[in-house]
Structure formats: C-alpha cells, structure tokens
Amino acid sequence: MPEQNKPFVVTDRRKFTLDGQPRPGADPSPEREPRADTPLAAAPPPAPSPGSLPPQPAAQPAPAAAPPGEIHEVPQGADLGESELPPPPTALEMEQARAAYQQTSERLDTAVRAANPGAERPPAVTFEQIVQSIYMTAIMQLGGATPEGQQPKVDLMGARQSVDMLTILGDKTKGNLTPPEAQMMDNALFELRMGFLEVTQALARSAARAQPGPAPAPGRPTIVR
C-alpha cells in the first residue's frame, strides 16, 4: 500500500477508564519521574553556627542627659560660627603700602598739574576737613541746602547716621585733639543735634495737622520721639 494511503491509528495510553477502573492492556510501567532539570524550590540556607558569627562591638552607653539648669562649658577652639578677623599686617607691610600709596598719589598730582597748567597742589587732608565733610553731609540730609522756594527733601535716617558717625569720631579722638579741634567738634555736634530735633518736630507738627486729633493741653510741653 502506498505510504500516503496508510490508515491513521490512534492509541489510547490512559491507564484508567472513565469509571476509575484499570484499563485492560494498559501499560503497567510506573509514571515517569520528574525531569532533573525541572526547577525546584530553593532550599533555605543553613543556619550559621554560633562559632561562625563575627564578634559584635560592645554597645556604648548613651550619655546621660544634663540636669535642668546645668551649664556645660564649650571646649576651646569650637566653631561657633563667628567671623574671625584676618591677621594684622606686619610693620614692614604697612611701611611698603604707605610708601607705594604716597608715590602713586604724587604721580597723580603731577599728571593733574600737567593737564591743568597753573593749578596748585591740592592741600593735604586735615582733621578739620573730615569734620566739615560729615557736618555738611548731615546739613544737606536735613534739607539745609534746598534752594529757596523749593520743598526741602529731608533724609532723617541718613542725617541720624551722619550725626552718629561724627559722635563716634569725637569719642575716639577725645583727649587727642587740640583746643581748636575739640571746640570745632563740640560746635558741629551741638548744631547738628539741634537741627535734627528741629526738623523732626516740624515734621511731627505737619503730620498732626494733616490728621486732626485731640490737641495737647495748653501750657504743657510735648516731646517728639
């Protein structure tokens, strides 16, 4: 019979019938064992023996809390976040810087006189000029340099800072001034302080007129802060 005309045969290899009875002629060989390459559940690792464990460091006791009200001293050298001043220059560095500054200033004066024939050498800065510079700055901040007929522009905070600067200068130079210098410093501070009080009181009166309120009792002085 040709190969293509052979009948198709189906072989039933089940060992039991639908009723659960062994089928006659079934293969009596036992069922196949699972293949060796079938992945099995990983076995848990063996528990380590007591002798194989590494030594554990001894627990350090926690520091005891300080009782209320007790103050601990801060160790010296601890960083407190405060800014530290740089080391001061040496005497040699100070002298070199002074000489270089002096030479540069002289060359600048020479260049200015060359560009402006007949110009005189500018005078050296004196203590009187420093006091007068701060004094005039405060006067302008109090509106003293305002042209006539214009509304004065007052800078109270700047004026107060200028007065405080002149006060510090007077305190730091006290005992080291000549009698004329000390008198000039006292006069400048007195005039600036009185001018500051006069301007602040004038501004307070102007604000009080703009916002009507209870008038002060007659005959009693008022203090403007």
Residue 70, pLDDT score: 47
Q: Answer yes or no: is pLDDT of 80 > 50.
A: no
* Helix or strand (DSSP H, E) at 145: none
* Helix or strand (DSSP H, E) at 172: helix 156-172
Directed axis angle between helix 179-210 and helix 127-141, to 10°?
10
3-state secondary structure the chain: CCHHHCCCCCCCCCCECCCCCECCCCCCCCCCCCCCCCCCCCCCCCCCCHHHCCCCCCCCCCCCCCCCCCCCCCCCCCCCCCCCCCCCCCHHHHHHHHHHHHHHHHHHHHHHHHHCCCCCCCCCCCHHHHHHHHHHHHHHHCCCCCCCCCCCCCCHHHHHHHHHHHHHHHHHCCCCCCHHHHHHHHHHHHHHHHHHHHHHHHHHHHHHHHCCCCCCCCCCCCCCC
Dist CA 18 CA 110 (whole Å): 127
Dist CA 95 CA 89 (whole Å): 10
Residue 185, pLDDT score: 96
Residue 120, pLDDT score: 80
pLDDT tens digit string along 171-219? 999 999 999 999 999 999 999 999 999 999 998 988 888 776 555 555 4
Alpha-carbon dihedral angle through residues 118, 122, 128, 133, given to the nearest 10 degrees: 100
pLDDT tens digit string along 109-158? 888 888 888 878 778 889 999 999 999 999 999 998 888 888 888 999 99
Residue 127, pLDDT score: 94
- With beta carbons less than 8 A apart as the criterion, state whether 200 and 225 touch: no
- With beta carbons less than 8 A apart as the criterion, state whether 163 and 192 touch: yes
Residue 71, pLDDT score: 46
Higher pLDDT: 108 or 18? It is: 108
Q: Answer yes or no: is pLDDT of 98 > 60.
A: yes
Q: Answer yes or no: is pLDDT of 9 > 70.
A: no
Domain ranges (residues) in the chain: 125-209
Q: What is the mean pLDDT of residues 69-80?
A: 47
- pLDDT category at 84 given cuts 50, 70, 90 is confident
pLDDT tens digit string along 28-57? 555 555 454 544 445 555 555 545 555 555
Higher pLDDT: 212 or 220? It is: 212
Dist CA 184 CA 176 (whole Å): 14
Residue 101, pLDDT score: 94
Cβ burial 5-22 (10 Å sphere, 16+ → b, else e): eeeeeeeeeeeeeeeeee
